[in-house]
Structure 1
Amino acid sequence: MSKQLAKWDSVGILLTYWCNAACAHCYENSSPRCRHTMSLDQVRDCLRQLRQLGCKGAALHFAGGEPFYDYGLLIDSFRAARDELLLPLGKLETNAFWCTDDDLVRQRLTEIRDLGLIELLISSDVFHQEFIPIERVQRAVRIGREVLGDQGVRVRSSEFLQNPIDPTTLTNEQRDDAFRCALIQREERMLGRAARALSHLVDRHPKEAFANTDCHREILLTRHFHIDPYGHIFPCVCAGLILGNVKTADLATFHETFNCDERPVSRTLIDHGPLPLFEEALRHGLQEDPAGYASQCHLCYEARTFFRRQGMYPDEIGPDEIYAAD
């Protein structure tokens, strides 16, 4: 079985961990307390390395957190991408929290369109709408389609937007029911805040249920990766599992020379899955949850969270934002 990283063909640059919301399903654990944001020099360096790696603009996206947190940085990041011949950008994500006024939305989206954007991805679901009025999402979609065209705007999830509910009017029991329905319609990664806020709403299993799983495909075979505001490189579905850092090795060199045998957490996950990690955490004092675990990702996240708080494997598990308790 090959231990080489697959050829990457798409990349997400997480400009910030800040978000106005603290959504229950957020696998990155973003919130208003998470202030760390990339500097423009970091963005430029990432984009330069991505161009040298052979990435195309259509395979890149800016995300967060919420990338509209610092609109000046966002626009400067588009300009930096233009300088590296990486426009039009494939995708820009937002929760539309900033869409408070028609003129503001039109002005910003026109500026972004003129720089070069293929798709604006707008989040809309029962989790986001705990924090963002649905009217702002509707405004973003309406004006986004006016400026970018129908094919230039995608809503996740469009079904919810067509029949929205306001979770702020629900009792706790009603909200949990709404969350359960959402989880049936779309499975969420039980990492970050989702592990704490949603895992009790789905079926859970004893740790032994994950004995015959491994994470070879998720870590080595993924063709999509993320770069966070600290420069950490994550597999796309494994927020908080650090494979390397763009500050210590350029992406091309990192990709060619990655050796999982030098990274014990990644090596264990690739070869044996999360159960051995979890059992190691138990030996160091982690308390097993008698209710069980929702998925192998949930089991892995609980072990990694314990290690992070114990100061173990700091080069592979981080940053604090992803593992912090609310």
Structure 2
Amino acid sequence: MDKNGSAIPIWDRFPSHERLAVNFTLTCNLACAHCIVESSPQRTERLTPDEVKSALTTAKSSGKKHVTFSGGEVFLFHKDMTEVIAFARSHGYVVDVETNGFWARNDTMARDRLAPFVEAGISGLSVSADAYHVHYFPVERAINAVRAGRSYGLLTEINFCPSTEQETDAQIIAALEEANEPFIHNELLIRGRGKDLIQLGDGRPVTELPDCDSLTTTVHATGDVYACCELDISTDAMKRTPVFLGPIQSAPAEMAKQQRREALVQEFYNPDSPIYFRKMIDSHPLFTELGTDRYQSICDLCMKALGDPKRIDSLLEMLNERSATP
């Protein structure tokens, strides 16, 4: 917890350029109304263990040290998940998993279902507790899950996302506080099904947009790789920007291009970089017009800024000039 008693995201123990997220599957036993990837029991997209291993190997060569496996629901696939978790650990990764916690009906069941993941080598467990999940089962399962995790020595976190059901939200928060379980208060994202839950306004100017604090390279369940963790079910816009890095399995020449695109996106969000988006908007003629628009999120700004080939060429030129400077 931080000095105010709030929970700290467990993946924040690694800087963003060292993190990898693997969206292993879109299959889920739930169909939560806010799900950004629109997972459900009807979705069948899933990575194979060999695809995950390939992605882990490539990412390791790019300096990644931490991987989070998510879905969908990874606890539906114990055999495949324990195989790739063990592979990740053997290659030096610190491994966390995200889950809805459906399996934690009581303390005994929680420990039993978690045990294979612990044996395979996970270090952290992230669980959701909000009105969207409580629609399917009580908040006590999230509490059981994180307590089981801590009994195995894992780092744990509970994620809460507000809803329009204020009474339910209050009951969930009260249950977590009574159980003395800190939680992370997340925003409802304008992605996937979440778009139907938010009354979109005019957006905010660039000066009011917070910096991106969760930029993480993500392997999508479809087999594509992105330099971003906030993936919508429709990634067409992202595929027209450097945020799209390409398929998991690529030729060596293409892998080098992927690494350059990933570095560009990370530098664009890095306040210490010469191509930090706020610096570019303040001073570069190709970017200053972005400062007059309004945006629903930092992701919307990124899609507009990096969707222009001329802007991309300019950013790459600046990075190349910096790397060429002795």
Q: TM-score range by the shorter chain?
A: 0.5 to 0.7
What is the distance in 1 between the residues matched to 2:287 and 2:171? 32
Unaligned runs of 5+ in 2: 1-14, 173-184, 265-276, 281-285, 305-326
1:40 aligns with 2:39: no
Deviation of 1:70 (Å): 1.0
When structure 1 is superposed on structure 2, of 68-77 and 244-253 the one drifting more is 244-253
State how far apart, in whole Å, the 1-side matches of 2:42 and 2:98 are.
20
Tell me: CA distance 1:178–1:144, structure 2 relative to 1, closer, same or farther (3 Å): same
The residue number in structure 1 matching 2:230 is: 237
Could you say what secondary structure the match of 2:17 adopts? coil
Q: Residues 110-121 of structure 1: matches in 2 within 5 Å?
A: 110-121=115-126
Q: CA deviation at 1:134?
A: 2.6
Structure 1 123/76 Cα, relative in aligned 2: closer, same or farther at 3 Å? Answer: same
Matching residue within 102, 114, 121 for 1:109: 114
Question: Does the aligned pair in 2 maintain the 1:16–1:65 contact within 8 Å?
Answer: yes
Residues 95-119 of structure 1, C-alpha deviations (whole Å, 9 max, x = no match)? 1112245444323323322332221
- CA distance 1:272–1:22, shift in 2 (3 Å): farther
Percent identical pairs in the alignment equals 22
- The equivalent of 1:19 in structure 2 is 28
Q: Which residue of the partner structure matches residue 312 of structure 1? A: none
Structure 1, gaps ≥5 residues long: 1-5, 161-166, 168-173, 262-268, 276-292, 304-326
Secondary structure of the equivalent of 1:11? strand
What RMSD in Å do the two structures reach over aligned CA positions?
Answer: 4.3
Instruction: Work out whether 1:49 is the aligned partner of 2:58.
Output: yes
Cα drift, residue 72 of structure 1: 1.1
* Residue 130 of structure 1 pairs with residue 139 of structure 2: no
Aligned twin of 2:259:
256
Instruction: Give TM-score, length-normalised by structure 1.
Output: 0.61
Could you tell me whether the CA contact under 8 Å between 1:96 and 1:132 is conserved in 2? no
Offset of residue 120 of structure 1: 0.8
Which residue identity is paired with 1:69? L
Per-residue displacement from partner, 1:12-46 (whole Å, max 9, x unpaired)?
Answer: 01110112222222212212221111111111111
2:296 equivalent in structure 1 = 295
- The amino acid that maps onto 1:224 is T
Can you list the C-alpha shifts for 1:162-214, whole angstroms capped at 9, x where unaligned? Answer: xxxxx9xxxxxx737757999xx642211110001x113xxx324xx567689
Give the superposition deviation at 1:65: 1.4
Question: Comparing both chains, which one has the higher relative contact order based on Cα–Cα distances under 8 Å and sequence gaps of 6 or more?
Answer: 1
Indicate which of 83, 95, 104 corresponds to 1:76: 83
TM-score, normalised on structure 2? 0.61
Alignment of 1:86-101 (within 5 A): 86=93, 88-89=94-95, 91-100=96-105
- Asked if the contact 1:52/1:252 (under 8 Å) is kept, the reply is no
Q: CA deviation at 1:7?
A: 7.9
Cα distance change of structure 1 residues 259 and 299 upon mapping to structure 2, 3 Å threshold:
closer
Structure-2 change in CA distance of 1:20 and 1:254 (3 Å): farther
- SS of 1:8 mapped into structure 2: helix
- Which amino acid in the other structure matches residue 131 of structure 1? Y
2:165 corresponds, among 175, 179, 187, to 175
**Separation in structure 1 between the aligned mates of residue 131 and residue 297 of structure 2, nearest angstrom:** 25
Residue correspondences, number: 247
Instruction: Please tell me the residue identity of whatever aligns with 1:254.
Output: K
Q: Which amino acid aligns with 2:37?
A: E
Q: 1:199, 1:294 within 8 Å by CA — same for their partners in 2?
A: no
The one-character-per-residue Cα deviations of 1:62-98 (angstroms, maximum 9, x if unpaired) are: 1111111211111111122134232x41x21111112
| Alpha-carbon contact 1:190-1:298 (below 8 Å) kept | no
Q: In structure 2, what is the Cα distance between the partners aligned to 1:199 and 1:179?
A: 17
Equivalent residue number for residue 191 of structure 1:
191
Q: Distance in 2 between matches of 1:25 and 1:140?
A: 21
**Does structure 1 conserve the Cα–Cα contact (< 8 Å) formed by 2:86 and 2:121?**
no
1:225 aligns with 2:217: yes
Task: Report the equivalent of 2:178.
Answer: none
Secondary structure at 1:41 match in 2: helix
How far apart in 2 are the matches of 1:71 and 1:222? Answer: 27
